[in-house]
């Protein structure tokens, strides 16, 4: 199990076929203001790849091809944000997508704790640290703690996906989850186009 740090793009051929877990770290939570600093990706077989971007240098053809590959399911937690940032900086829609946060909301209706930490603790019995979440991801040198944090955000998404698929099936909510996932690029586009908070389905 190794965490690899790459500059500017993913090397070709490092990922096995199949679903990939994806997360991103940015300078903040405003996709208009805050740049993409790091993108984490894993094929679920034990290694995590971190791709770091210098300001303004988002020409990453290998990574973009993986993210846009219609044959590869992208697993993300709160995909709405990552998809908006990926689209803004890398110019691709990371679809098809499975959002573990949406799935959690559709099946873990007995709690309002849908953060990744709480989801992994309950479904897998795994503890991850969120200590480095609010740190300087644009720094010239990432600390070991930052790299470990970034990697741990994608490390367990394949296993969580497996649990959530089964729970969605059990509760008869697979179809509504899929419809939500299919809507995600539109939701992200609304965020980027200036309707971040508005519920366009609401009466008022
Ligand atoms: Mn993260």
Mean pLDDT of 75-103: 98
Q: Which pTM value belongs to this model?
A: 0.96
Find the CATH number of the domain harbouring 123: 3.30.420.10
Asked if residue 25 lies in contact with residue 139, where contact means CB atoms within 8 angstroms, the answer is no
Question: Is 200 a member of any domain?
Answer: no
Cα 151 to ligand 1 centroid, rounded to whole Å: 8
Round to whole Å and give the CA distance between 65 and 70: 10
- How many whole angstroms from 144 Cα to the centroid of ligand 1? 15
CB under 5 Å of ion ligand 1: residues: 23, 153
In this predicted structure, the answer to whether residue 10 has a pLDDT above a threshold of 90 is yes
pLDDT (0 to 100) of residue 134: 86
Q: How far is the CA of 18 from the centre of ligand 1 (A)?
A: 21
pLDDT digits (tens, 9 = 90+) for 162-195: 999 999 999 999 999 999 999 999 999 999 999 9
User: What average pLDDT score do residues 93-119 get?
Assistant: 98
Q: Is residue 25 part of a domain?
A: yes
Sequence-ordered list of residues with C-beta below 8 angstroms from that of 74, at least 6 positions apart, any chain: 19, 20, 21, 22, 67, 94, 95, 96, 97, 98
Query: Do the domain assignments include residue 198?
Result: no
Domain that holds residue 157: 3-193
Summarised one tens digit per residue, pLDDT across range 144-163 is 999 999 999 999 999 999 99
**For the chain, what is the mean pLDDT?**
96
Number of domains in the chain: 1
Q: What is the pLDDT of residues 34-64, one digit of tens each?
A: 999 999 999 999 999 999 999 999 999 999 9
Cα(202) to centroid of ligand 1, in Å? 31
Tell me, yes or no, whether 204 lies in a domain: no
77 CA to middle of ligand 1, Å? 9
Residue 68 binned pLDDT confidence (cut-offs 50, 70, 90): very high
Show contacts of 161-166: CB within 8 Å, 24+ apart.
Answer: 161/19, 161/75, 161/98, 161/100, 161/103, 163/123, 163/124, 164/98, 164/100, 164/103, 164/104, 164/107, 164/123, 165/103
């Amino acid at each position: 199990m190794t965490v690899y740090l790459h500059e500017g793009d993913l090397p070709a051929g490092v990922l096995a076929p199949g679903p990939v877990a994806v997360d991103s770290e940015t300078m903040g939570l405003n996709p208009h203001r805050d740049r993409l600093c790091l993108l984490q990706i894993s094929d679920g077989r034990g290694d995590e790849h971190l791709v770091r971007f210098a300001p303004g240098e988002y020409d990453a053809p290998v990574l973009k091809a993986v993210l846009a590959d219609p044959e590869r399911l992208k697993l993300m937690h709160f995909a709405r944000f990552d998809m908006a940032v990926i689209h803004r900086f890398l110019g691709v829609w990371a679809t098809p997508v499975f959002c573990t946060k949406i799935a959690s909301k559709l099946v873990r209706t007995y709690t309002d704790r849908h953060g990744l930490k709480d989801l992994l603790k309950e479904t897998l019995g795994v503890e991850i640290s969120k200590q480095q979440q609010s740190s300087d991801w644009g720094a010239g040198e990432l600390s070991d703690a930052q790299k470990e944090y970034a990697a741990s955000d994608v490390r367990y998404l394949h296993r969580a996906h497996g649990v959530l698929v089964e729970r969605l099936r059990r509760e008869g909510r697979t179809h509504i989850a899929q419809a939500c996932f299919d809507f995600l690029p539109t939701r992200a586009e609304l965020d980027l186009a200036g309707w971040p908070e508005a519920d366009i389905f609401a009466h008022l």
